[in-house]
Amino acid sequence: MKQHKTEEQLKDDIFNIYSQYLKTDSSDRRQTYFGQLFDPILQWCDTYLFNETKKMGEEIFKTVSRIVKINKKSIQEDKTQFIKYLRKALDNARNEYYRSNKQEEMKIPRKYYKIEKIIEKQEINAGRKFTSEEKIQFLSGFYNMTREKALVCLKYINAKNIRKLDISDDGEEYNVLDSSDAKPVYNDISLDEPESTMLTKYELIEIQEAVKSALKKGYKTTIKIKRALFTVYCIKKYKNFEGLLPVLDNEILETYYKNMEKPNRYEVYMKYRPNAKKASAEVRAHETIKVFLKELNSILK
């Protein structure tokens, strides 16, 4: 089992990478150090600071983006002052997360909460997250729900930023994680896209290392295209991709978090291949990310 670093070790890592970022004038190296900053910062937040870290990717990204642009010697040169400033900024990021999501809070009936926990148990047993279709099949089999009722149930469970529960429903409380009635459904389900299970099949650190390995080969522009297209893929495919921030394209992330508009694959490709036509750019982008994902899975297996 991988041991967590101590809080002081993580603080040292954060400040050392930040210092390396400040020392270099190379935009490519700054991109690398900027990405590397997220790994220890996310670990620090997740292990020692906040329970909400996995939901705060956008706010943490914006915080780090602001901090690296600060031109203040007392912060740049003194580790204690820097960590103090960073901690305050991360606390503000957490507050911003709650302010941003306050209006989207909703109540979820207790019965849906219990169903959600049973699904989570099945996912733990399977060692991965289920697709929506798998959840529908499970609800249909376990609860004898029609597809329509299963979809309504998932709408409640998947509602964004559910934090308040309506516990006024009748019925005895029970610990659904101790339920022995849940029937596994994952063994009979095949996925159309094996690559889409990557974030649920492997540890984030394993995926990060695989991406770094895959991006070591090729011409400079080709590497940038692959990183950019992988970033677009993660934004579009996964709801929680924050654990991969260290290996994603910072410029694309910054634009996405600013406008909250998912980038177009062909536009990203044409940034590096400006002479390509839209139709061919889409085809080439599709083939490039397809080959890259297969390479990642090959490294991970």
For residue 141, name the pLDDT band (cuts at 50, 70, 90). confident
Q: What is the mean pLDDT of residues 30-52?
A: 84
Q: What is the model's pLDDT at position 189?
A: 26
Classify 34 as helix, strand or coil.
Answer: helix
Token pair belonging to 271: 């940034």
Tens digit of each residue's pLDDT (9 = 90 or more) over 236-250: 887 777 778 888 998
Give yes or no for residue 270 having a pLDDT over 80.
yes
Higher pLDDT, 58 or 90: 90
Contact 250, 35 (CB under 8 A): yes
Contact 230, 248 (CB under 8 A): yes
DSSP state of 130: P
Whole-angstrom Cα distance, residue 89 to residue 117? 33
DSSP state of 69: T
Whole-angstrom Cα distance, residue 131 to residue 122? 12
What's the pTM value of the predicted model, to 2 decimals?
0.50
Q: What is the mean pLDDT of residues 204-221?
A: 86
Q: What is the model's pLDDT at position 288?
A: 92
Token pair belonging to 203: 């540890």
